[in-house]
Amino acid sequence: MIFGTVPNWARIVLLVLNWGSFIPQVRKLRRKRESSGVSLTYVLFNLINATEQFAFATFLTVNDLGGLLVGNAHSRGDQINLVQFAGVFFLWSLIFVSSVRFPSNDNLRGLKLAICPTIFILYLLFAVVPLFLQRATPSPGAPGDAPYEGWLVSWAVLIHQSYLFPLTSILCLASLIPQMHLIHSRRRRGSLSFKGLGIQGTIFSIEAVGWVGRLAFPWDEFKGQPRLNVLILWYQRVGWIPINYAFMALVQKALFWILILHRLHGNGRSRERERRPLLGW
């Protein structure tokens, strides 16, 4: 099996569900006009993952390498995938900008405002911009020198597959830590959307399964080879996307339940404080 097995109508449904899952968080930030309770580091890690997906999909399309996504860079399925990547990148960017722009009373706010945008800019300069330099810089040989351009494309693909894809997977999981720490450091959840976490935990789980069928991989070509080697190759080509969605689903579900437990624990402490004067009397 080479091509994705998910029909285009299902891709569109998944796209709409994915984008819609961001609405509660975006609306809450815009309504409250403050970002207390939303970890800037948590948002940054997810934004880097979304940027990597969108940038690499665009790179493959520009260089007519759509076979790594669907099978044809100009197919309708590939276009739907690219549109979804673009939308998710925009939505995480909107949440990141809102988190930076709106005031917050969280600890170390000033330090995070200095570090997080700087990290994202450095990521763009060293990881995303080089993907497209090959199109912007002239070949040292004849114009359109195929060997030279092919070498640059292959080198860019290798760097991302070997280093940046695993990094995004680590960041997706690691995003749990700063947001969990922030939840436990506050009495109220602030601008963090409880509903949004629950919805995204469910939708991202569906997406993790759906992306396995939406992305192309020539499984038949690797019959008889060591299974671990094939899985590594699958991850480097397309598997990092569904795996990252699985990690994001796990994080959103974990944060959802952490918020529930934190709220129950907080209510318990409030009732205990209310009873103390009576017990003391």
Q: Give pLDDT tens digits for 61-79.
A: 887 765 555 555 567 888 8
Contacts with 183 (C-beta within 8 Å, 6 or more apart), sequence order: 37, 189, 192, 255, 258, 259, 262
| Rounded (10°) angle between helices 40-62 and 240-280 | 170
Which pLDDT score is estimated for 102?
Answer: 96
Asked if the structure places residue 121 within a domain, the reply is yes
DSSP code of residue 185: T
Asked if the structure places residue 80 within a domain, the reply is yes
Which pLDDT score is estimated for 94?
Answer: 98
Asked if the structure places residue 44 within a domain, the reply is yes
pLDDT along the chain (281 residues), means of 10: 73 97 97 95 98 93 66 75 96 98 89 95 94 64 51 83 97 97 89 96 97 87 90 94 98 97 70 49 34
Number of domains into which the chain is organized? 1
Asked if the structure places residue 1 within a domain, the reply is no
Contacts with 88 (C-beta within 8 Å, 6 or more apart), sequence order: 18, 19, 22, 50, 53, 54
Asked if the structure places residue 3 within a domain, the reply is no
Rounded Cα gap, residues 275 and 145, in angstroms: 80
Which pLDDT score is estimated for 4?
Answer: 56
Q: What are phi and psi of 215, to 5 degrees?
A: -110, 145
CA 14 to chain centre: 15
Asked if the structure places residue 2 within a domain, the reply is no
Which pLDDT score is estimated for 278?
Answer: 44
Asked if the structure places residue 276 within a domain, the reply is yes
Asked if the structure places residue 66 within a domain, the reply is yes
- For 186, the domain range is 8-280
Which pLDDT score is estimated for 222?
Answer: 87
Q: Give pLDDT tens digits for 176-202.
A: 999 999 999 988 878 999 999 999 999
Which pLDDT score is estimated for 219?
Answer: 85
